[in-house]
Structure 1
Amino acid sequence: MTATHSDVGDAGGTTTHLAHIAQAGTIDTSHGVVLYVENLTVKFDAFRAINDLSLYIQEGELRCIIGPNGAGKTTLMDVITGKTGHRNASIEGQVFLGQTLDLLTMQEPQIAQMGIGRKFQKPSVFENQPVWENLYLADAGDRRWQVALRARMTADVRARIADTLTIMKLEEVAYRAAGELSHGQKQRLEIGMLLMQKPALLLLDEPVAGMTDRETAELADILQAIAGTCSIIVVEHDMGFVSTLAGDRGIVTVLAAGSVLAQGTMQQVQQDPDVIESYLGR
């Protein structure tokens, strides 16, 4: 890698403290880059899922990744989070978190502890527990049962729960069982649970699948609000949502056949002939 690369409380009313999301770990982002993917090739037997792919995610960046089915989007996220590694695939290239953390040498739990959170398409929450308790259970603190039996909720954790409820627009349902929430609310709750873990990098796989137009617009506002406090990669097929997220300046990466087909603003990639031909259509 090169050097370039109640119980919840009020907690201040409606004021949100986005700084609570910041990862307090030891990730070296002295060059402004939180994730380096360099010359990555991933093969499953004879099938090449990713082909010499390079990608750099800036600290605090909101990056959208689009592309047709089979483009390598999920495999890329699997490699970043350790779900796919040398034990179950042939991998060449480098994937670093910051300057020093080699993700290809780590297992999934280690990578999560280093500050990478991932949300899959289907929400996964503790449906019988209240919303606020879902956030508490997801807190980045020590959750071993021996510790949990003696633990009390600290003022800091209580404040972060209250802030996360506000950020995710879940204050009004804080005491409802998570299983009673709408699909969109469950999606926001799971993202909030990831935020409680203070991620440096958040990976979201098709987060608006199954959402109404109103819920989609609401989530776009939320992700734009938290962008900057952590880096976010969104893999999505909803082009309206991607366009809203990226705005006029955000970078959109288009993958095809395991490689970067195009990269630039949403307007630039929409006008790229190769992208039109292989993905967007004429």
Structure 2
Amino acid sequence: MKREDPEVAHWRDAPRPWPWWPPARSPEAAAAAAVAAQPSSDASFGRSVDGELDLTKGVVLYLDGITVSFDGFRALNNLTLTVDAGELRCIIGPNGAGKTTMMDVITGKTRPDSGTAFFGQTIDLTRLAENQIAHAGIGRKFQKPTIFAHHTVFENLELSMKADKRVRKTLFAKLSSAERDRIAMTLAQIRLTDSADRQAGLLSHGQKQWLEIGMLLMQEPKLLLLDEPVAGMSDDETERTAELFLSLAGTHSLVVVEHDMKFVETIAKKVTVLHEGSVLAEGSLADVQNDPRVIEVYLGR
């Protein structure tokens, strides 16, 4: 019996920001079927004129009254939050404020005790599995990059491309010109064109972070959840990451959880402050920095 590649086994079992092993039917069909089975909504935002789901306008993420408890501790306490399509929103707050749990709810990793969570105001996230949510258009990047270290940058993007993997006879089937163009465009976006043939494990920390963002982009997400993306980066890498996020906003919606206030100042038009599982303050960075409640619980005097 052929021995399983230990790297493949590791990545199969590790938490991933995008689905890799396909379900029994195509991911797109599974997500579409799950959405179709949900009750229809009378809300007009998040839909086009003909009623089809449109994630390029209106509200892309809607959380209302989300509560999550772990052994009596309320990680989220009646959390209500909306994010507009194309918006770049920064989420800040002290450790234990509920930032990670909020992203876990959005991606289906954690089910709320109460409350509603909608994507595009029509997709009930509380009814979908993690892989269905990812294929519906939500991508998540964890703080520690998860890449295929022993494959090239190009191969990492190819592996994460949104496609029905069942039809591929080999791991690296011949790519179409359109697929190669998509990879080339993504390489340019994340500024790794010159490193396309380089082994991913040899990249700098910042480059690995950009590669993982590129892998998410290959899944064609409408909403990106980014957890402390500049942690451990050099000043130059942080600056380049800010430029990347600003270039993605509009085409994508971004929710960035970050502690680096200088970075937040560079990219944020609107900031949400979480504290004890609820929204403490929201507005421009200047507004929240001058809020006495935020100063007391997070920024310090």
TM-score scaled by length of structure 1: 0.86
Q: Does 1:3 align with 2:43?
A: yes
Shift of 1:151: 3.9
Q: Does the residue aligned with 2:109 lie in a helix, a strand or coil?
A: coil
Structure-2 residue corresponding to 1:189: 211
Structure-1 residue corresponding to 2:78: 52
Structure-1 residue corresponding to 2:274: 255
Write the letter of the residue equivalent to 2:297: S
Q: Does 1:240 align with 2:280?
A: no
Q: Does 1:107 align with 2:129?
A: yes
Structure-2 residue corresponding to 1:63: 89
Structure-2 residue corresponding to 1:209: 231
Matches within 5 A, 1:1-282: 3=43, 27-29=53-55, 32-85=58-111, 91-144=113-166, 147-149=168-170, 151-246=173-268, 250-282=269-301
Conservation of the 8 A alpha-carbon contact between 2:87 and 2:252:
yes
Alpha-carbon distance in 2 for matches of 1:253, 1:102: 23
Deviation per residue, 1:226-259 (Å, 9 max, x gap):
111110000000000011011xxx1100000000
Write the letter of the residue equivalent to 1:223: F
Write the letter of the residue equivalent to 1:34: V
Alpha-carbon distance in 2 for matches of 1:237, 1:92: 28
Alpha-carbon distance in 1 for matches of 2:211, 2:53: 26
Write the letter of the residue equivalent to 1:49: A
The structure showing larger relative contact order (alpha-carbon pairs under 8 Å, at least 6 residues apart) is 1
Structure 1 residues not aligned, in runs of 5+: 6-25
Alpha-carbon distance in 2 for matches of 1:187, 1:219: 9
Structure-1 residue corresponding to 2:33: none
Write the letter of the residue equivalent to 1:78: D
Alpha-carbon distance in 2 for matches of 1:132, 1:73: 32
Shift of 1:39: 1.1
Alpha-carbon distance in 2 for matches of 1:94, 1:195: 27
Alpha-carbon distance in 2 for matches of 1:208, 1:278: 23
Conservation of the 8 A alpha-carbon contact between 1:82 and 1:111:
yes
Alpha-carbon distance in 1 for matches of 2:169, 2:259: 40
Alpha-carbon distance in 2 for matches of 1:38, 1:105: 15
Shift of 1:2: 7.8
Alpha-carbon distance in 2 for matches of 1:47, 1:2: 35
Conservation of the 8 A alpha-carbon contact between 1:3 and 1:31:
no
Write the letter of the residue equivalent to 1:3: A
Alpha-carbon distance in 2 for matches of 1:237, 1:116: 22
Conservation of the 8 A alpha-carbon contact between 2:56 and 2:85:
no
Structure 2 residues not aligned, in runs of 5+: 1-40, 46-51
What is the percentage of aligned positions where both structures have the same residue?
Answer: 58
Coordinate RMSD, CA, aligned:
1.7
Conservation of the 8 A alpha-carbon contact between 1:117 and 1:194:
yes
Alpha-carbon distance in 1 for matches of 2:57, 2:44: 7
Shift of 1:148: 4.2
Alpha-carbon distance in 2 for matches of 1:4, 1:31: 11
Conservation of the 8 A alpha-carbon contact between 1:121 and 1:206:
yes
Alpha-carbon distance in 2 for matches of 1:29, 1:173: 33
Write the letter of the residue equivalent to 1:50: L
TM-score scaled by length of structure 2: 0.81
Shift of 1:73: 0.2
Q: Does the residue aligned with 1:197 lie in a helix, a strand or coil?
A: coil
Shift of 1:264: 0.3
Shift of 1:152: 2.4
Q: Does the residue aligned with 1:193 lie in a helix, a strand or coil?
A: helix
